[in-house]
Structure 1
Amino acid sequence: MNQDSVYSQKRIYVYTFDRKLFLTTSQRTDKIYAVAVGKAQTPTPHGTYQIINKIINPGGILGSRWMGLNIPNGPYGIHGTSRPESIGKAISNGCIRMYNHDIEEIFNKISIGTTVIIQPFSEET
């Protein structure tokens, strides 16, 4: 299997209630990560989106990596954080925060165009 087909089989699932991000390949879970999501006033939008850009060291509160999403009325993204104590909480302005070492781990495994599905619960919950 070539590298392009592996990338095309990658998906990210974010479950906002559980505050978990699942990285999958061909419907098999590769790894599960703890995340922070949007607070009640600025919730993370549910739906199916794509990664539209990737930035190394975006600066400020965005931590060490940014993966932008095509969510309307954005910008929204999956990014690192300068506030690791926020992980596991509903605290952001709608973005999905990860520990910097976690976003760095998945950053090179994800290509622009990767599907990101954001829903409140996993189907197993």
Structure 2
Amino acid sequence: MIHTVKAGETLFAISEDYRTSLSAIVAANPGINPNMILVGQQIVIPNLPHPDTIPYTIHISLVNRTLTLMNQGVVQKVYPVGVGRMLHETPVGDFVIVNRAPNPGGPFGSMWLSLSKKSYGIHGTNDPSSIGHYVSLGCVRMYNQDVEELARTVPNGTAVYIRP
């Protein structure tokens, strides 16, 4: 997978966002100076397929509180979700699923899908009544059976587009 450096990012922060060691990123990018990366620079993230090779994309609408799964540009399914509340908004942007954890426990329900933004993910919930509302600390909540279905369908590297 290729990451394009954005303003304010460091190579260490990129490694944390993708849950990949800094040494692995340096090794995958010969000649890179870890102390000086430039906006717009292309960084290879090892062990993740490029999203263009995956037929699925996920589109999250914060205002509609929906997650739409698309397969080759065609809507496959629309799920209701809970999203971040005031002062803890869900981040808007383009991300990818970098890893997953079944049964993470607590408020995260039965499945956690990590996004390429540290501390954010798509996950189940131990409070199904929160779905459809602005309630989380920024993550996207789904019914447990829905996030399990999503996790069985999409691989790591799947693009996730979060919009207002």
Residue 67 (structure 2) pairs with residue 21 (structure 1): yes
How far does residue 106 in structure 1 lie from its aligned partner after superposition? 1.0
Correspondence 1:1-125 to 2 at 5 A:
8-71=54-117, 74-120=118-164
Distance in 2 (CA, whole Å) between partners of 1:9 and 1:47 is: 20
How far does residue 40 in structure 1 lie from its aligned partner after superposition? 1.3
Of Structure 1 and Structure 2, which has the larger fraction of its residues in strand? 1
- Which consecutive residues of structure 2, in runs of 5 or more, have no partner in the other structure? 1-48
Aligned sequence identity (%): 42
Larger Cα Rg: Structure 1 or Structure 2? Answer: 2
Aligned length: 113
- Deviations for 1:16-44, whole angstroms, at most 9, x for unmatched residues? 00000000001100000000000011000
Q: CA RMSD in A?
A: 1.2
How far does residue 47 in structure 1 lie from its aligned partner after superposition? 0.3
2:124 aligned partner, one-letter code = G
* SS of 2:104 mapped into structure 1: coil
Distance in 2 (CA, whole Å) between partners of 1:110 and 1:57 is: 17
2:151 aligned partner, one-letter code = F
Q: TM-score with structure 2 length normalisation?
A: 0.67
Q: TM-score with structure 1 length normalisation?
A: 0.88
- Greater relative contact order: 1 or 2 (C-alpha under 8 angstroms, separation 6 or more)? 1
